[in-house]
Amino acid sequence: MERGIRENWIIDRKVVRRRLRENGVARRDNGVFQRDARRCEAVIVSAIILMIMAVTPLRAQTGGYDPRTWIFEEEANVLLAPGDTMSPENPGSADRHREPIPKRVVNYSGSEPTGTIIVNTTAKRLDLVLGGGKAMRYSVGVGREGLSWSGRDRVSAKKHWPDWRPPAEMRAREKLKGRSLPAFVPGGHNNPLGARALYIGSTLYRIHGTNQPWTVGTATSSGCIRLTNEDIVDLYERVPVGVGVIVEN
């Protein structure tokens, strides 16, 4: 295509010179004619450059969060292996290659007291206020559209390898999809609550681990806040029962 544009440029130069002569410019001083011709050619060159820029595909620019050349997808807050995608047409293509962003210490300028847990469901992150203007940040999975929530409460209980009793609403919802959930799942590696759980007030919501770490950083849960088992163990050891929990969206 670019070759065709260059060929048309040569033809256009000849057309410009001919039309200038037809308009009587050729009868003027030869230097003036050449100057006018050069000006016209400059305009054509500028137009051609803009045309080439318009038809040349733009290359995606992605920031590598991980030194191993993995790609940081900001919206999902996950790392993707090179070549993996998160396209709606093939949402599972990268599932088992995704790695949540590792926990890290960040600056904190809010007014919440030390020990407070602050969850931002939009950014899919959990900040634990450490004091001294710092917070420990964890990547989290949150409730999918229609199942997310927000508010203030406190950690009412902590459990090591918690068992799981799917609420009646969840079991009914899954039954409509043709799936059957058990009434009770004992704690262990096959339990979707993972290695630890922090129970929020008197609600059914929890901050817990997962047996599917690749889902951390996505909005796929029924409203609970999900961390990798490694991160929930770390958070579990840092917070006592009674600390405040703030969920924002």
Considering only the C-alpha atoms of the chain, give the largest distance between any 2 of them, rounded to a whole number of Å: 98
Q: Name the catalytic one among 40, 97, 189, 224.
A: 224
For the residues of 34-57, what is the DSSP string, one character each? HHHHHHHHHHHHHHHHHHHHHHSP
- The answer to whether residues 141 and 219 touch, using CB atoms and an 8 Å cutoff, is yes
In angstroms, the CA 119 to CA 138 distance is 9
> Rounded to an integer, what is the distance from CA 102 to the centroid of its chain?
15
Q: Name the catalytic one among 40, 97, 160, 208.
A: 208
Neighbours of 184 (CB within 10 A): 8
Neighbours of 28 (CB within 10 A): 12
Active site residue 97: no
In angstroms, the CA 77 to CA 126 distance is 12
Strands (E), the chain: 71-73, 78-80, 99-100, 104-107, 117-120, 125-131, 134-139, 142-143, 151-160, 196-200, 206-208, 219-221, 225-226, 244-248
Active site residue 224: yes
In angstroms, the CA 136 to CA 107 distance is 9
- The answer to whether residues 103 and 233 touch, using CB atoms and an 8 Å cutoff, is no
Q: Which residues are catalytic?
A: 208, 224
